[in-house]
Amino acid sequence: MAKQQARVFIVGAGPGGIDLLTVRALRLIEQADVVLFDALVDSEVIALAQRALKLPVGKRAGRHSMKQPQINALLVQHSRSGKMVVRLKGGDPAIFGRLDEELNALRAAGILFEVVPGVTTASAAAAALQTSLTTRGVARQVSFVTPSQADQGASGEFDGLSILPGATTVFYMAGRLSRSLGQALLRNGFQGSDEVAVVRNVARENQEISWVSVAMLAVRPDLPWPQADGPVILIAGLRSPKELTSVLAHHISSAGSGDQSPLVVMQRHLN
C-alpha cells in the first residue's frame, strides 16, 4: 500500500502529552485536514492540529460516547471528500484500539490507509515504575488483558484467564473492576501479600503510582485515590520495591559466601 496515496492515517499518540509522540505522528497531525480523536488523547497533542477540523469520538467507561459504526462512517465520509484524515488514538492503535473494525470499514469502502504505531501504555508504565516487564529470572512472558465489554453493556470477567504468578500481566481499563481482579489473582496462585503496581494517568503531569497488595485489591472497590479521575493500568507479576529491597538485603547478609553475583544482578535491577 503506497503511503503517499493514503487518505486516512490511524495514528498512535502514545500516553500522556507530546513527549512520547513519534516524529511521524507529529508530522501527520500537523498536516491533517480532519482529526478524529479519542478521549484519552492529551489536549496538547490535539492542539498540534492547528489547521484541522477536530472531532471528539472517544469512548470512556460509564460515559456517553460515540458508537463504533458512527466513527467508521465519519472516517469514510471525510476521506471521500478528499480530506487528509488522521484518526488519533491514545497509546498504540493495535493494543485494544478497535483497529480492525476501523480498517475493515476503510477496506470495504476502498479507501487507502496507513497505520502509525505509538508507544503503548504498558511500556510507558514500566518506564514510570523504573522496571522491566520481562525481568530476567522473574518473567518470561507478558500478557495484555482488558476486561472491557462496553458494547455488550456488561462488566468484563477475569474467569478463564491464565494469570500466572511467574509472568507479567498488564491489565488495561480494569480500574473499575479492581476487586474482581484481586479475587482472580488469588484464584490463580498469587499470595495475598503479593503486590500489584497501579499507575493512574500514565506519562501525564498528574501521574500517580502505588503498589497495592493482592489481598487489599480483592476487598477494595475503589483502588487508591478513589476521588481521582483518569485512566488506570494495573500490572501483576512485577517485583515491587519492597520485594527488591528484601532480596537485596538477603544477598548483602549472605555475601560472605563469596558468590556475590546475585547482589550484582539486584543492584543493576534497582538502578
- Is 159 assigned a catalytic role? no
Question: Pick the catalytic residue: 59, 89, 92, 194?
Answer: 59
- Is 59 assigned a catalytic role? yes
**What 3 state SS string does the chain have?**
CCHHHCCEEEEECCCCCHHHCCHHHHHHHHHCCEEEECCCCCHHHHCCCCCCEEEECCCCCCCCCCCHHHHHHHHHHHHHCCCCEEEEECCCCCCCCCHHHHHHHHHHCCCCEEEECCCCHHHHHHHHHCCCCCCCCCCCCEEEECCCCHHHCCCCCCCCCCCCCCCEEEEECCHHHHHHHHHHHHHCCCCCCCEEEEEECCCCCCCEEEEEEHHHHCCCCCCCCCCCCCCEEEEECCCCHHHHHHHHHHHHHCHHHCCCHHHHHHHHHHC
Question: Pick the catalytic residue: 3, 19, 33, 38?
Answer: 38
Residues taking part in catalysis: 38, 59
